Structures are given as C-alpha cells and as structure tokens.
C-alpha cells in the first residue's frame, strides 16, 4: 500500500477541519489573505507537554510589525512524552538519536496541522523557525577531552521537518550564541524589545515558562539598553510536584490548589540557598537545577507538607527569585512602571498573586492586555521571528543578555523542496 505524501496528508487534515482533536488554537479572520510572506514558528518548553505552532506575518502587522495569523498548541502523544521523560532521566545515545527523529516528525505534523486548519498551503510559507525540544542546557563551561566547553541540546531533526513539509527550516538557534561566548539564553529579549518597548513607560517582560526569565525594557530604549536573564524555576518545579502528587492531568490547573495552601518558611529558605540565585547576569539556568540533587532535596524536605502547601511554597519561590533578580539588577538601571507577564505561569493565580506581593510598586499585567499577540503564543512567535531574521542575514541574539562577545546570525538552515 502506497504511503501518503506530505501534501496528501495536509489535504486530509483540511477535510477533517480545524481543532477536531480538541487542541487549543487561535485564528485571525484574514489568515487566508493573498500576497503575504509568512513564517511558521514551532516551540516546546521544558514542561515537555506539547508543541506550540504559530503562523506569523512580519509585514505591517498590529504589534511592532508582527502579525499573528494562527496559533495552535498540539499535545505530545503520551508515549512520546513518556519517552522524553525517560531519556532525560538517563537515556543512552541510541535513545537520543531516535527521539531526535521522532520529535522532528511530531514538529512537522504540528506545522502541517496548523497550516491545514488555517487554510494555507506549505508553498505560502517562506520558512519554519523551530526551537525543538530542549533535553539539556549546560551554560557553565566544564572540562571534557582536555577542553572547557558549554553546551546545549535541542532535538527535533530539522531535515525531517523540511522533508515532511517541503518548507525551508531554520533551527538550533542557541549554539551559535554559545560559540560566540554567550550562554545561548535568553533569546526572547529581541522579541520583547520589538513587541513591548513603550515610549513613555519602563517595563519588565517576565516570562513564566518552565524557567522564569526577565527582560528590562527602558522607556523608548534600544536593544543595547536591555538587560535580560533567567531568574530560576517557574512551572517546571510546580508541574513536577503536581505529577509526584498525582494531580489530574499532572498540573495544578490555574494554581487552584496552591491558592488553598500556605508557604512553608523552612522549605522556602532551603530552596533559596541554591547558588544560581546569587550569580550575577548574564546567566541562564542549567536544567539540572530542577532535576538532580536540588529537586530531590525539595521533595525530601517537603515530605510532611500537604500538596497545597508544597505548591504554594514553590509559587512563592518563583515570585521571590523573580523579584530579587529585578530588584538587584534591573531597578538600578531603569524605572519600572509595568511588569508584563507571559508563559504558563501567567495563568497560575498563586504565582501571579505572589509576584504582585513582591513587586508592589509596579503594575502587573499580562501580555494579552498590552499586545495583540496572546501570551501563550509568544514563544512560538519568537522562533518564527528568529527564523525570519536568519533568512534575512540579520543577528538574532542580544549580547547584553546572553553574554556573547558579539551579535550573530542564529540558526542552521535546511532548504525545503
């Protein structure tokens, strides 16, 4: 029996209709308009729950020249999510090699699903920008083979995405910044500057993904004025705690259970002693901060706590480390009138309440309140933007944020067909 071609698969998905599987999505009414040059962004965070796909026009859009036409979040199949979790706990080279291809297949399918639901053809898209799935991020140099190196690994084979979709695919964005002496993160400041800089109000863009990061945006400031860095764990520890305590769906939906608990002072002080929190920027979080001895110590210290108290303590940890980073490093550089929040943590009432408590002098808003681009789509839009910049030969990193020695064009390009 002959296998379907990618284009035949796309046509079948279109006949099925958008969101038949219940995935979350966003569509602009003019997504089918002619004459646009479109870029598709793909991303998956440290929670490893699924793939965000965004279809973006970088012409005369509504948000700093960035116009989101369609967005969709596609959950990973449970078997693939389990394989990722198992690999992170101790997979071998064969596991990583196979997962690299499997995640590439899943990303390609997510791209085709989004295009079908938006009524677009692969030929309408000039490129895909794919972040892939981070397995490990090691920004601090360590010795191997007589050399001191830092490293990062995002899987989701670019050649598979390009071959399945026919679209030129750009990815592996972090490694060029690291080769230039940077930490490969955070990469979002270039988009924060484009989307959120205000002519009169000083802002901090706060992303509460698996890891929390902040970008200082002085009123009317330039890229050279920015300071951005990771502050520590956000959803990744909260989600890990929810899974350990077998909450439905593996999450505390909206922070509802956490809101019924109380922070435990002793556990909080123990968690605050991690040396990462004292490190000065530029800094990005080694994912081992939330997996190895640190996480195990958290679970041991929390053995006698209720689930609600543990979750509230972790929400408090996120807010305290965010506020501490802002107070130490951004407040001395600029006025802060507004904190603009995106990422999954923006939906967690306990985290948002704690952020407001620890940053009382600024107005705390969500990206949805100040931009036409929904906060949930921001990461996927970022990687569409980085793909767009790479094809234009424009730099995508911000050296004042990553610590790189120079600005660089980010990403590797695999041509489509």
Mind listing the pLDDT tens digit for each residue in 349-373? 999 999 999 999 999 999 999 999 9
State whether 152 and 69 are in the same domain: yes
| pLDDT of residue 29 exceeding 80 | no
pLDDT at 15: 32
Residue 384 belongs to a domain? no
pLDDT at 48: 85
Residue 400 belongs to a domain? no
pLDDT at 24: 54
pLDDT at 291: 63
State whether 62 and 200 are in the same domain: no
CB atoms within 10 A of CB 353: 18
**Inter-residue contact 344 to 209 (CB < 8 Å):** yes
Supply the mean pLDDT for the chain.
Answer: 90
Determine the average pLDDT of the residues in 199-203.
Answer: 97
Residue 388 belongs to a domain? no
Report the domain count for the chain. Answer: 2
Q: How confident is the model at residue 290 (pLDDT cuts 50, 70, 90)?
A: low
Residue 393 belongs to a domain? no
State whether 124 and 106 are in the same domain: yes
Residue 396 belongs to a domain? no
Residue 389 belongs to a domain? no
**Inter-residue contact 184 to 152 (CB < 8 Å):** yes
State whether 174 and 216 are in the same domain: no
Residue 242 belongs to a domain? yes
pLDDT at 28: 52
State whether 109 and 160 are in the same domain: yes
Determine the average pLDDT of the residues in 28-36.
Answer: 43
pLDDT at 26: 54
State whether 221 and 365 are in the same domain: yes
Task: Indicate the helix (H) or strand (E) that contains 89.
Answer: helix 78-90
Mind listing the pLDDT tens digit for each residue in 61-107? 444 578 999 999 999 999 999 999 889 878 899 999 999 999 999 99
pLDDT over 70, % of the chain: 89
Spell out where 13-146 has E strands.
24-27, 38-44, 50-57, 67-75, 125-144
Determine the average pLDDT of the residues in 167-177.
Answer: 98
State whether 234 and 368 are in the same domain: yes
Residue 382 belongs to a domain? no
CB atoms within 10 A of CB 278: 10
User: Residue 46: which CATH number?
Assistant: 3.30.420.40
pLDDT at 16: 34
State whether 109 and 136 are in the same domain: yes
pLDDT at 63: 46
Determine the average pLDDT of the residues in 166-191.
Answer: 97
Could you give the count of Cα atoms lying within 13 Å of 163 in the half-sphere of its Cβ? Answer: 9
| Helix, strand, coil percentages, rounded to 5, for the chain | 45, 25, 35
Query: How far is Cα 92 from Cα 29, in angstroms, rounded to an integer?
Result: 46
State whether 94 and 209 are in the same domain: no
Mind listing the pLDDT tens digit for each residue in 224-235? 889 999 999 999
Query: How far is Cα 127 from Cα 108, in angstroms, rounded to an integer?
Result: 12
State whether 205 and 340 are in the same domain: yes
State whether 210 and 167 are in the same domain: no
Q: How confident is the model at residue 289 (pLDDT cuts 50, 70, 90)?
A: low
Query: How far is Cα 373 from Cα 29, in angstroms, rounded to an integer?
Result: 14
pLDDT at 205: 98
Question: What is the DSSP code string of 272-339?
Answer: TT-GGGGPPSS----GGGGTSHHHHHHHHHTTTS-HHHHHHHHHHHHHHHHHHHIIIIITTTS---EE
pLDDT at 10: 41
Of 9-13, 38-42, 108-112, 299-303, the least confident: 9-13
Determine the average pLDDT of the residues in 167-186.
Answer: 97
**Inter-residue contact 76 to 48 (CB < 8 Å):** yes
Domain that holds residue 251: 189-375
| pLDDT of residue 398 exceeding 60 | yes
State whether 18 and 160 are in the same domain: yes
């Amino acid at each position: 029996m002959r296998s379907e071609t990618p284009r035949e698969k796309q046509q079948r998905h279109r006949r099925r209709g958008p969101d038949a599987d219940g995935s979350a999505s966003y569509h602009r009414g003019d997504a089918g308009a002619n004459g646009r040059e479109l870029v598709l962004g793909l991303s998956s965070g440290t929670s490893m729950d699924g793939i965000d796909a965004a279809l973006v026009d970088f012409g005369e859009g509504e948000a700093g020249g960035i116009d989101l036409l369609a967005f969709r979040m596609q959950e990973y199949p449970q078997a693939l999510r389990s394989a990722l979790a198992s690999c992170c706990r101790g997979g071998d080279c064969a596991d990583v090699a196979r997962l690299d291809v499997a995640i590439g297949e899943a990303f390609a399918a997510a791209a085709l699903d989004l295009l079908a639901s938006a009524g677009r053809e692969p030929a309408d898209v000039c490129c895909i920008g794919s972040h892939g799935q981070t397995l490990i991020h090691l920004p601090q140099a360590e010795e191997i083979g007589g050399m001191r190196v830092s490293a990062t690994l995002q899987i989701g084979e670019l050649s598979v995405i390009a071959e399945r979709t026919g679209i030129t695919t750009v990815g592996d964005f972090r490694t060029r910044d690291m080769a230039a002496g940077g930490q490969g993160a955070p990469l979002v400041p270039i988009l924060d500057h484009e989307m959120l800089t205000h002519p009169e109000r000083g802002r901090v863009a706060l992303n509460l993904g698996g890891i929390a990061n902040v970008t200082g945006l002085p009123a009317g400031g330039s890229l050279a004025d920015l300071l951005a860095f990771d502050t520590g764990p956000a959803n990744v520890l909260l989600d890990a705690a929810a899974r350990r305590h077998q909450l439905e769906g593996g999450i505390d939906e909206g922070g509802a259970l956490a809101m019924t608990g109380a922070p435990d002072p002793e556990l909080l002080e123990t968690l605050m002693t991690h040396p990462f929190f004292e490190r000065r920027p530029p800094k990005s979080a080694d994912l081992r901060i939330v997996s190895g001895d640190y996480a195990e110590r958290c679970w041991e210290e929390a053995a006698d706590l209720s689930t609600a108290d543990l979750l509230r303590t972790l929400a408090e940890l996120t807010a305290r480390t965010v506020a501490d980073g802002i107070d130490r490093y951004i407040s001395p550089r600029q006025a802060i009138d507004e904190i603009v929040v995106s990422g999954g943590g923006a939906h967690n009432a306990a985290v948002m309440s704690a952020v407001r408590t620890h940053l009382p002098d600024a107005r705390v808003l969500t990206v949805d309140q100040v931009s036409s681009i929904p906060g949930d789509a921001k990461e996927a839009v970022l990687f569409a933007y980085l793909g767009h910049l790479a094809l234009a030969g424009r730099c995508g990193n911000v050296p004042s944020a990553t610590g790189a020695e120079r600005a660089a064009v980010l990403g590797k390009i695999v041509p489509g067909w």
